[in-house]
Amino acid sequence: MTRLSENLIFIRGGGDLATGVVHRLRQAGFQVLVAELPQPLCVRRAVAVAEAVYAGQVTVEGLTARLVADPLAGVAPGEVPVIVDPDGAAIRRLRPAVVVDARMAKRPLDTRLTDAPLVIALGPGFRAGRDCHAVVETQRGHHLGRVYWQGEAASDSGQPEPVRGLSPERVLRAPRAGVFQAVKQIGDPVRAEEVVGEVAGAPVIARCDGVLRGILHDGLTVSAGLKIGDIDPRGVREYCFSISDKARAIGGGVLEAVLAGRRLFADPSSLAFQP
């Protein structure tokens, strides 16, 4: 068993994009801790360390994440501890060197500049210098993975990214509020008009052909319109079980920000860092 190092990176959120960050940082040798909700609403569960909250442990591309009650008790060498900590209370107790807000809320929540010597946030809703020290671009395109030490990432478009020309069609949403039950599983092929699940008796119907890349856990209570699944029109089953190019690019941006921000570790009071 190993204990957390003094250079701990505390990541809030364990979804598929956050898992790309976790994987990059662990491959580079950093000690990482992930904090999640009691019931994560993660769709791409096959490639998300958040799944450890439900399963106890999960392995994504050789990286094992394990749910623990107390991260200070340690985990097996090479594993990533996952804790249930929706409010980030453990930040004050653990005093990490870096906090990464990877919850993809697309709006500032409770992350603050004072949470750690270096605070990094993913995507829209954060301003570098106000909410965090650095923002990493999450919108697919020319600037994906870019690190901003001033300003903000691109605004949320409100539309899912198109895949083979399909955008809203590939996203599955709850037809009403209630308890969700899946009919199809991640990796299953689907056809347009096929039922992939139901919410309180109302069917969730696919609007395009492809492969089911992600779907919520059975038994979760959802609100009407909530994203509950994702169809990949490319139809390649392997993509459902591997970290995406987007997640890797974002992970690379976070790794860059961590390495560039190392000067902060020597002088934690230097919160106006510019690389």
The reply to whether 181 and 129 lie within a common domain is: no
Between 167 and 176, the higher pLDDT residue = 176
User: Cα(163)–Cα(169) distance, rounded to whole angstroms?
Assistant: 10
* pLDDT, position 92: 92
* pLDDT, position 77: 85
CATH of the domain at 128: 3.40.50
User: Cα(204)–Cα(212) distance, rounded to whole angstroms?
Assistant: 13
> Which of the 8 DSSP states describes residue 56?
S
* pLDDT, position 267: 57
Domain assignment present for 61 = yes
User: Cα(174)–Cα(224) distance, rounded to whole angstroms?
Assistant: 5
Q: Which domain holds residue 73?
A: 9-156+245-266
Structural domain total, the chain: 2
> Which of the 8 DSSP states describes residue 171?
E
The reply to whether 213 and 249 lie within a common domain is: no
User: Cα(207)–Cα(98) distance, rounded to whole angstroms?
Assistant: 41
User: Cα(111)–Cα(12) distance, rounded to whole angstroms?
Assistant: 9
- The token pair at 107 is 């709006």
pTM: 0.91
CATH of the domain at 216: 2.40.50.100
The proportion of the chain whose per-residue pLDDT surpasses 90, expressed as a percent, equals 81
Q: Is a pLDDT exceeding 60 seen at residue 265?
A: no
- Span 53-71, mean pLDDT? 95
Reported as a pLDDT band with limits 50, 70 and 90, residue 165 is confident
Q: Is a pLDDT exceeding 80 seen at residue 5?
A: no
Asked if 116 and 91 count as a contact pair (C-beta separation under 8 A), the reply is yes
Residue located via tokens 């409010």:
87
* pLDDT, position 71: 85
The reply to whether 141 and 256 lie within a common domain is: yes
Helices (H), 136-217: none
Between 100 and 162, the higher pLDDT residue = 100
The reply to whether 23 and 111 lie within a common domain is: yes
The proportion of the chain whose per-residue pLDDT surpasses 70, expressed as a percent, equals 93
Domain assignment present for 3 = no
Between 29 and 158, the higher pLDDT residue = 29
The reply to whether 181 and 46 lie within a common domain is: no
* pLDDT, position 274: 41
Domain assignment present for 163 = no
